[in-house]
Structure formats: structure tokens, C-alpha cells
Structure 1
Amino acid sequence: MDATALLTAYAEGRADPVEVTRAHLDVIAAQDGRLNAYSTLSGTALHAARTAAQALREGGTPGALNGVPVIIKDNLCAAGMPAAWGNAELARRVVDQDELPVAALRAAGAVILGKGNTPEFAVEGYTDNATFGPTRHPVDPALTPGGSSGGVVTAVASGMAMAGLATDGGGSIRRPAGYTGLWGLKPGIGTVRRGGGLPQVLLDLEAVGPITRSARDLALFHRVLSGQDAKPPRTCRILAIGLLGDAPCDPLIRDSFAATVKQLRALGHEVVEGVLPVDLGPLNAVWSGIAEIGLAHLGRNDPAVLDSAAEKYRAMARAGKAASAVDLYEAMIRIFALREAVRGLWGYDAVLMPTAAAMPWPADQAYPPMIDGLPVGPRGHAVYTGWVNAAGLPALAFPAAREGAMPVGMQLIGDMGAEPLLLGLAATLDAGQGA
């Protein structure tokens, strides 16, 4: 069942928010010891469920997410719980108010079950930290579900939450959603309001968006977060990019990409296979420095947080502290140049790419050292996603055709303001999940 079907069941009296919430808490008790999706549980979930049940009994128009159990990524502030961010010091601090996207879900009647585990400071593509340990893939617990939204996707994919709210600063919604067979939306810059949260370490590259079990749920949650509705599906012109330069990609992912191209063509879309019409070299050369400078800034303003962090993040902050204002300005100039280069999306309605270049790897490893027999660095698995954040564009991850049990994800990237178009496209791709 997806959230849309659950809301219908509530309206028809076939389900009760308190019973549904209790059922989710039972699944968490049974499964989370093995998967470690949650960093903390809310103490008010059942109270919120009772409030949702009362709203149904009293009639009227309940909130758009009334009684839907959700998980919130643990770098987002939700009142009554820490926003631990994988960090020992922050795990000791209880937040007293929701930040804006969390408040929007709560105002719509969502039942917040707890917080989803994330790597420390949410700057890596797997989910592990010294405070809470590794989150594991629901299909194969020996493997990672990706990151940094690994706790959220594992909970949603394994029945420990109906949907989730997460962040994407370099692919952290799209890659984990792809690894676990879910739908995820990274909105464009400014589409979903931020405010009242933790310090940003990735400039304005990080966006808040939903992770769901169906395309229609994705549209529902995005409407609550932004006020935007999906557009009716229409025929689109799509640029399909399966490889980026000489960066390797797993053969299973390449096969799924080819199957997705065929699927889109069968749906009537014009799909042109080609290469990315922009050089990502200048961005890649400064990418790691952005997080380093962000962590240095965080450490200056809140030393206790950085002092309790793992050494690799303290080392990143030292490197960031050694950078100059000119270094930061150079990174920003390159980002601005990319945003101008992608304006109009080269005449296409959308760009199709994989969400990741590698299949899931061992849960306690930060990244796969080899892809398709070739050595890669820490971002080798993430080549398809970070440029979208720098460009400020919206992107939607969806489950692709695959062979075997392990999911594979693809993404559709749109021009600025194209979230409604992408959601309309997603509706045509969703083969009845959760219906």
C-alpha cells in the first residue's frame, strides 16, 4: 500500500490511523535491529495518530497527509527529537521546533515516527557513523542502501514508514531511492522553502524533497511541500545520457538504462541518445572543497559539534579552513557558469540518466573502489548526480526495469521550474505501484 491508498482507506473507514501507526511501530521493533534505519523514535507518534483519527471522526476536510506515518532524515529539525546529523554532540541536543518543510508535513496531518540515520554531516554516499552505526539494505543487509538518506529509504522500502522527507545535496535522495526501488524528488533551488534548520555546509546546493513508494505519492508530498501540482502527462523530447566521458558504469545499470530508453519510446516520447553538452571538469575540480569550507564554517560557529566528529571530517574542516575567500569565490563562479550553461536544457524537456554508476556495496565501506573492473575514487559511484545540484535543477528518481532482486534507479532531470512536468512524466512510468 502507498500513502494515497492509505488515505482512501481512512476516508472509507477501512483503516484507522492509530492502528496503522501501531503496526508501523511493531515493524520497527521487529526489523530495525537488523537494518538500523532509525537514529531515534518520536515519543509522540501515537498522540499524533489519535489526533488524526479524531479529525476523521469529526468530518470536514482533514489534512492532505492526515494519519500517514513518515520518517524524517536526521539532518532536518523536528520538534522533540535531536537533529543528530550522525554527530555525537548534536545527538544530545533536543530540537524545540520544526524547520519549515517538517512543519508543512506536520500541518498536513502526517504522523512523524522518528528520524532516519545519515552519515555524519550528510556529505557521503553511504550511511554509517560512529554514533549510530551503519544502516543496511533491506534486500541484502550486508550492503549499503546508499546515502546520505539511507535511513529514510531503508525504512520506507522495508515497511517501517509509509514515506519520508530527506535532503539531496549531491544525489542523497536520488541514489538511495534508486538502490531501494523507491521514488524520490530533488526539487530545484528555491522550490521548497527552507528555514529554522541546521547550518548548511553545501551552500544552496542541498534541497529538501520526498521519498515515496509511488509516483502519485511523490506528487502528493510535493504539493504539500511546495504548493505545486503535477502537470498532465504529455509527449516529451528527452536527451538520454548513459555514460559520462570515460567514467565507468556497472553493466546491470547500463542494461537498465537501455531498457528505460525503450520504455520511454514505447510511451511515445522522443528519446535522443547523446552526451552531456557541458564540461563538468571545472565543477569536479572544486566540488570537494565546498563541503570542506562548509565544515570549517560549522566548526568555527559550533566547535563542540566538530570536536565530537570523526577525524576524517575534522580533517576536511582543516582543509576548508586553509582555503581562501578567493577559493570559495572561484567555486561559486564555476557553479554560476554551469547554471547559465544548462539554462533551457539545450532544447529538451528532460534529461535521462542513471541515478548511480555502481550497484550497492558493503555497508561499512564509504564507496566502492572498483566499478566494472576499473578503479574509482570516492565519487566514482556518484558521477550522475552532483552536477544537477550545482546547476540548481529539479530531478526525479524512479525505479527502472531490472533483472534480479536488487533495484536499479534512473532519474529524469528538468529545467528550472519543471517539477510539475517531471511528476507528470513519472505518472506515466509508474506501472501501478501502490495502486
Structure 2
Amino acid sequence: MTAFPTARDIAANVAAGQMTAAEIARAALDRIEAAKDLNAVVTTDPERTLADAAEIDRSAHAGRPLPLAGVPVVVKDNIWVGGWRVTQGSRLFADFVAPQDAIAVERLRQAGAVIVGIGATSEFACKGITTSELFGPTRHPRNPQLTPGGSSGGPATAVAAGLVPLAVGTDAGGSSRRPPAHVGVVGFKPSYGAIPYGPGFAEPFFGLSVIAPMAAEVADVALAFEAMAGLDPRDPDSAAIARDSGELSDLRVAFSPRLGFDVAVDQAVADGVSSVVEHLSAAGLQISRHDPVWPPGATEEAIMPLQHAGLAALYGEAFRKNPSLFDPNIATQIERGLSWSRAEIGAALGTSAAIANAFAAFFGKVDLLLAPTVPCVAWPLMQLGPDMIGGKPASPRGHAVFTPFANHARLPAISLPCGTDQRGLPFGLQIIARRGQDRTLLGAAQQIEAMLRT
């Protein structure tokens, strides 16, 4: 399937009257229908979508400034889109219709975007693959026998397969960076609070999850970010974001090949990311080799009780009444959440805070950190993770080691496509910045993206 025009091109052409939002929406709906086997988009509403597109055309014709005029967007199935079925991939919410838009969706619509579908997620966005008892698995666009990862695999796949130019997911531990890395697109996790969160479902990741745009190019991600970002009194955690602080050449850039962890990495990924860093250095970017220093006991296992406890707090009662409604892996997480003691939850909160402090100390010395997004490429469809990483047996969460700590530090992070293995399966370069420096990160990412094309 041919690629969609960029979101920037679509918006410019609709504003100039060279395209209509209606014809673009129809094209997106046709592409989604033709790619149903991927199971990237689980809900469509063509009548509503085309009516929204017609309204955008009227506004554009009247000369209203619309930075996303006519851009078709897929929204993850845990973000409220008013009047649409939004399920969190859960049988508990199989018939739930969102009563209103999340603030981010409201702002996308105000900017002229057209919602064309709801993108698949794992149940409650709490698995590293995208499959649910309600909708089944989402398939990798380059190999349907593989997973795109999770939990934002539906939105990432929709972009990678050319169904839409822009999608929006959530990210509480890497859910909108790892799937983009696995399918070869850009995924951006803003600083916590940069894009207002909600109104919407109660969130099991207390104080961690963010709204995260995905696209084929950084410029489209930045366009979506600007449409959604900014203070809003409805979200007490929403925050103002600093201006872009300048040229990439003025920034202190560090590279950490394993992010300071003693973990296995596939050789193709390690070599590919290192090659990219060498290319950037040869192009004139000054890069130091510098690892974050983590506090003792700081591992993903040490902070996972927070996810389990969040799920148990929200859904433990429903699970006790009817465990058959839940994905078996989610059921296991809820059971663990019900078993953690208050002291163990307190210890996990302490580890989370220590991780944030460690990253704060690190970013006192550098401005940008380069690292792999993932340690491996995509793996078989229904497995929670690959059997092996870097020639060593892998745990079910071994694929996720490089992303969660940025969430616990509330930092912005972006994944750029940076190579493929011998089978043509993508992996990504992750770039992390200080909290609130989202625009600086996006500007640097655009420059790095351009350097990687030369």
C-alpha cells in the first residue's frame, strides 16, 4: 500500500482547496477496510467520520486556520472520543460509548483533524503486545506472523501500514515508543503533563501515562504535539512547555548503548544503533559516551508492583466476581496486585522516585541522551516476548528494558527508525531530554532524522 501524504501536506492542500477532507477521509476508510487482516483499527464509524470531514471542508472554505485540516487520525482504544465506542480492549467495556472527547482529542478536532478509527490496544494498555480477548491480535505490517509490540500496536501499525498519516496512543512505560520502533515509524512520549490527560478512563498508571503522537516523520509528530499541548484547568497536572532552546550543535549529547543496564541486546540492534551514532558523529555532532547511574535495586521488576496495584485497585472487585472476563495475563497482574503489601507498594514508589532523581542528576550534565528504544526486533505474534535476546534466554519483559524509566522520571522521549536486521525488521533510536524540554527534543530529533537520511 502506498504511503499517505504527510499530515503537513494534507493540511496545506485542504487549506488551499486542492484536496477535500471528505475525499481524504474516504481514502483512509478504504485503506482501513482493505487492511482488516492486520487488526490495527478495531472500530470505525464511516457516517460520523464523513460528517466530521464535511464540517472541516466548510470551515476550511470559510478561511478558518486549521493546522491539521483534513488529516485522518487513528486514536488508541483507551482514549475517549466522544460518541465512539472505546473499550480499553476489555470485555468489561465492550459496549462503552465515550460521553465526551478527551482534551487531546478535542484539540485535534479543533485543529481540523478527522477521527477515522479507534486503534487496537492490549487490555487496559497493560501488556507488551497488542492483543485482547475482545478483538484478538494486531499483526505486524511487515510480517503478519509477528507482533508489533504493545500496548499501542494498533495506532503504530496503522501509521506504518499507510492507513493514516497520524495516530495517537498512550505511553506509561514505552507503549508508544516500542511499537513504533518495531514497525519503523516515529513515536513521541511527551513530558508528563505536556498534553492534558483525560477526561477518560481511570488510569492504573498513576502519574505516569501520557498522550503520545505517532507518524512517519518527526515534523508530523511535532505538528500534532503543538495542536494538543498546553495548560488546561480540567487537568491539574497539565504543564506549560518551554520554547525550543536552540540548535542541536549547541546541545550536550550523550550516548549510552545499554542505558546503564546489564542487559542483553540483539547484535543487529547493538551494531545498528552504534553505527547510527558513529554516522551522527561523522556528520559533526559532538557525542560523549555516558551512562546514567541508577540507584541500587532500580529495575523494572522493582516498579512493576505499581502497575499491578493500579489494576487491582480499579478492577480487583470485578475480577473476583467474574475472572473469565479478563485476559489471562491481566488476571495474573491483578492477582499480584491484590497480594502486594502496603510496604511493598511503598518500596516501589520509593524506587520510582529514586529513578527520577537519578535521571535529574544525569541531565544536569547533558541535554540529550541517545540509546536504543528496544533491545530486539519483533517476535512471534502471541508470545509476551521473544524467547531469546542477544543469544540469551529472555524474560517476558526483556524486550521492554529501555523505556519505562523515562516515564517514572516524567521525561520526554522519542523513538526514530534507525535500521533493520537481516530480515528487514526495524528497530529504533531513542532520544531522551530533560523534563519540559519537549520542543528542544522535537527540534533536535528533526535534525537527527535529516542527518540519518544523508
- For this structure pair, what is the TM-score category when the shorter chain's length is used for normalisation? over 0.9
Match of 1:110 in 2: 113
Q: 1:155 pairs with 139, 155, 158, which one?
A: 158
d(CA) in 1 for partners of 2:182, 2:322: 30
Query: What pairs up with 1:300-319 in 2 under 5 angstroms?
Result: 300=316, 308-319=325-336
Q: Which amino acid aligns with 2:50?
A: L
Match of 1:175 in 2: 178
d(CA) in 2 for partners of 1:258, 1:206: 30
TM-score (norm 2): 0.90
Q: 1:142 pairs with 141, 145, 161, which one?
A: 145
Query: Would you say the 8 A contact 2:92–2:325 is kept in 1?
Result: yes
Task: Say which SS state the counterpart of residue 168 (structure 2) adopts.
Answer: strand
* Pair 1:282-2:333 in alignment: no
d(CA) in 1 for partners of 2:322, 2:378: 30
Task: Say which SS state the counterpart of residue 199 (structure 2) adopts.
Answer: coil
Deviations 1:158-211 (A, max 9, x none): 121120111111110111111122111101122111121111111112111100
Task: Say which SS state the counterpart of residue 153 (structure 1) adopts.
Answer: helix
Q: Which amino acid aligns with 1:159?
A: G
* Pair 1:237-2:241 in alignment: no
1:60–1:392 CA distance, 2 compared to 1 (3 A): closer
Moved more, 244-253 or 350-359: 244-253
Query: Would you say the 8 A contact 1:280–1:387 is kept in 2?
Result: no
- State the Cα distance separating 1:230 from its structure 2 match: 4.8
Q: 1:52 pairs with 49, 52, 56, which one?
A: 56
Match of 2:235 in 1: none
d(CA) in 2 for partners of 1:237, 1:170: 25
1:57–1:432 CA distance, 2 compared to 1 (3 A): farther
- State the Cα distance separating 1:306 from its structure 2 match: 6.4
Match of 2:267 in 1: 251
Moved more, 384-393 or 320-329: 320-329
Match of 1:393 in 2: 411
Query: Would you say the 8 A contact 1:357–1:384 is kept in 2?
Result: yes
Query: Would you say the 8 A contact 2:12–2:69 is kept in 1?
Result: no
Match of 2:236 in 1: none
Task: Say which SS state the counterpart of residue 211 (structure 2) adopts.
Answer: strand
Q: 2:194 pairs with 187, 191, 195, which one?
A: 191
d(CA) in 1 for partners of 2:211, 2:118: 15
d(CA) in 2 for partners of 1:232, 1:414: 14
Q: Which amino acid aligns with 1:150?
A: G
d(CA) in 1 for partners of 2:209, 2:253: 25
Match of 2:436 in 1: 417
- State the Cα distance separating 1:305 from its structure 2 match: 8.7
- State the Cα distance separating 1:312 from its structure 2 match: 2.8
* Pair 1:429-2:432 in alignment: no
Match of 1:95 in 2: 98
Match of 2:220 in 1: 217
Q: Which amino acid aligns with 1:3?
A: A
d(CA) in 2 for partners of 1:261, 1:356: 16
- State the Cα distance separating 1:373 from its structure 2 match: 1.6
1:301–1:193 CA distance, 2 compared to 1 (3 A): farther
Deviations 1:347-397 (A, max 9, x none): 111111111111100111111121122011111111101111111111011
Task: Say which SS state the counterpart of residue 248 (structure 2) adopts.
Answer: coil
- State the Cα distance separating 1:329 from its structure 2 match: 1.9
1:370–1:403 CA distance, 2 compared to 1 (3 A): closer
Moved more, 68-77 or 254-263: 254-263
* Pair 1:406-2:425 in alignment: yes
Match of 2:366 in 1: 348
Moved more, 313-322 or 391-400: 313-322
Match of 1:30 in 2: 34
d(CA) in 2 for partners of 1:97, 1:248: 44
- State the Cα distance separating 1:274 from its structure 2 match: 3.5
Task: Say which SS state the counterpart of residue 164 (structure 1) adopts.
Answer: strand
Match of 1:203 in 2: 206
d(CA) in 1 for partners of 2:343, 2:107: 38
Match of 1:272 in 2: 288
TM-score (norm 1): 0.94
Deviations 1:214-256 (A, max 9, x none): 1111111111111456554331222211124331111111122
* Pair 1:360-2:378 in alignment: yes
d(CA) in 1 for partners of 2:332, 2:412: 32
d(CA) in 1 for partners of 2:261, 2:248: 31
Q: Which amino acid aligns with 1:373?
A: G
d(CA) in 2 for partners of 1:267, 1:113: 40
Q: Which amino acid aligns with 1:287?
A: I
- State the Cα distance separating 1:287 from its structure 2 match: 2.1
Match of 2:86 in 1: 83
1:106–1:248 CA distance, 2 compared to 1 (3 A): same
Q: Which amino acid aligns with 2:60?
A: L
- State the Cα distance separating 1:282 from its structure 2 match: 2.8
d(CA) in 1 for partners of 2:182, 2:245: 27
Task: Say which SS state the counterpart of residue 333 (structure 1) adopts.
Answer: helix
1:334–1:3 CA distance, 2 compared to 1 (3 A): same
Q: Which amino acid aligns with 1:414?
A: A
Q: Which amino acid aligns with 1:239?
A: A
d(CA) in 2 for partners of 1:254, 1:419: 26
- State the Cα distance separating 1:346 from its structure 2 match: 4.1
Deviations 1:83-102 (A, max 9, x none): 21111121211111112212
Query: Would you say the 8 A contact 2:248–2:447 is kept in 1?
Result: no
Q: Which amino acid aligns with 2:344?
A: D
- State the Cα distance separating 1:149 from its structure 2 match: 0.4
Aligned residues: 432
Note the residue ranges of structure 2 that are not aligned, 5 or more in a row: 231-240
